[in-house]
Chain A
Amino acid sequence: MNLTLKVWRQNGPSDKGRMVTYRVEDVSPDMSFLEMLDVLNERLILEGDDPVAFDHDCREGICGMCGMVINGVAHGEQRATTTCQLHMRHFEDGATVTIEPWRAAPFPVVKDLVVDRSAFDRIIQAGGFVSVPAGSAPDAHAVPVPKEDADAAFDAATCIGCGACVAACPNGSASLFAAAKITHLGLLPQGQPERDSRARAMVEQMDAEGFGGCTNTGECTAVCPKGIPLDAIARMNADYLRSATR
């Protein structure tokens, strides 16, 4: 199949940037979206052009590096799918595809489609951890966890920190990401001692980074490759209010 790509090109953080149109030919429907970009980049390199910079690592949907906004939708229209797991068979032959980086002030563009998501790291540093005594590993069943809590905590823990929630949110809010971490740790016994301070610290860091406020639009959960539900945000709010009233 043949495609027309409109790709955001930006030489560096201070460059103004612009959309550039490319033709890509002989794309196999079995290729992933990133492989399609590889084809484009090989050609650009052969022609002596600068290849399109994009982030990626695992290419199997677990690292969270490969975010880009495809035709106005974070990670593309395929639900619960990262860009690296999105396949070209979901596109029509001859289609025009617009590719842009995540757009959020706390995610500055490094180059082309690559953004700096260190703001997420700082939110995690603020409270996304549990303090445990170091030493030898504890026995597996030393701390019993009810099956339901374990399952729900695990579901929340599947957040890969990709940032699609921020990219899709009309408010540029990072609530779903922070809420996933707060839910994951707050459901487990090991997370209880720091539950209040965690919610407060992470929410405050999120605001300090310049993310917007949540208005429960639900755009985040719709594009989240891991399907983190809005319930996580309710839980974050509950923990945050609890910390504020103590």
Chain B
Amino acid sequence: MAVTGAVLVLFLVGHMLGNLKIFLGAEEFNDYAEWLRTVGAPAVPGRTLLTITEIVLVVSVALHMWSAISLARRAVRARPVKYAARRRSQASGYATRTMRYGGVIIVLFVIWHLLDMTFGVVNPEGGDATPYARMVAGFQPSRWWITLFYLVALVMVGLHLRHGLWSAFQTLGLARRRRALKAGAAVVSAVLVLGFVAAPVAIMIGVVK
């Protein structure tokens, strides 16, 4: 969980920074998308960076889900008889309790998101439009429910990281100052969520057109 999660977090950081380029205008953003596809050329074939990223992500997501499912199954086996009284949580961890269903919501979001932004299947502009056009079209006010879905998914991502980030350190035996670590996890999650939220909201309210 910890190692694959760390890979995904690194991707999210890069992805968030990339998205923020939308504020630099259509040309800058499309150039960036183009650069992602041609970086290293002609030494390496086109899409090298993207293909590597995609493979690493697919493997990480698969292993991340496999670990989560194994843990959940072990948990079920370890407690065959449930408590009659509702087991009341004594730890202060709202985020912790969202991990399993939150993870499922995020996966569903990623599937929709890929159909939307990467393949353009469910995007009004379609897959042949420029990334900038796809993004602006995708978050038009008339499609507010899509934007809302993005926002809900991003909040789930934030909660997921809120617990996941410090938990990964704990699992790898690196958690020494737990209080500072938990605070750090909260800050990083919040920054990531805000960074991601900025673009769709800016488009919806017309700041970016």
Contact = CB atoms under 8 A, between A and B. Distances in A.
A73 B78 contact: no
Interface in A195-245: 210-219, 221-223, 229-231, 233-242
Nearest to B72: A171
A212 B81 contact: no
Contact of B167 (A8, A212, A215, A240): A215
Contact of A73 (B82, B90, B166, B178): B90
Interface in A171-190: 171-173
Contact of A100 (B85, B170, B176): B85
A125 interface: no
Contacts of B174: 234, 238
Contact of A6 (B75, B81, B84): B84
Interface in A101-152: 103-106
A69 B78 contact: no
Nearest to A173: B78
Contacts of B175: 230-231, 234
A218 B78 contact: no
A170 interface: yes
Nearest to B175: A234
B163 to A, nearest CB: 7
Interface residues of A, number: 45
A158 interface: no
Contacts of A237: 170-173
Contacts of A168: 87, 90
Interface stretch (B28-36, B91-99, B148-156): B91-99
Contact of A215 (B71, B88, B90, B176): B71
A95 interface: no
Interface in B70-120: 70-71, 74-75, 77-93, 96-97, 99
A221 B78 contact: no
B99 A104 contact: no
Contacts of A214: 171
A219 B167 contact: no
A219 to B, nearest CB: 5
B171 A216 contact: yes
A73 B86 CA distance: 9
A8 B84 contact: yes
Contact of B78 (A77, A172, A222, A235): A172
Contact of A212 (B71, B85, B90): B71
B77 A103 contact: no
A192 interface: no
A236 B91 CA distance: 21
Contacts of B96: 215-218
A244 to B, nearest CB: 11
B87 A234 contact: no
A98 interface: yes
A53 B42 CA distance: 78
A186 B125 CA distance: 61
B173 A238 contact: yes
B167 A216 contact: yes
A203 to B, nearest CB: 12
A87 to B, nearest CB: 19
Given A71-B85, A98-B85, A239-B173, A171 B93 contact: no
A230 B85 contact: no
A230 B74 contact: no
Contacts of B85: 69, 71-72, 98, 100
A213 B173 contact: no
B84 A98 contact: yes
A145 B106 CA distance: 49
B170 A216 contact: yes
Contacts of A234: 169-170, 173-176, 178
Interface of A: 6, 8, 19, 69, 71-73, 77, 98, 100, 103-106, 168, 170-173, 210-219, 221-223, 229-231, 233-242
7 contacts: A171-B75, A212-B78, A215-B71, A217-B93, A222-B90, A222-B91, A234-B178
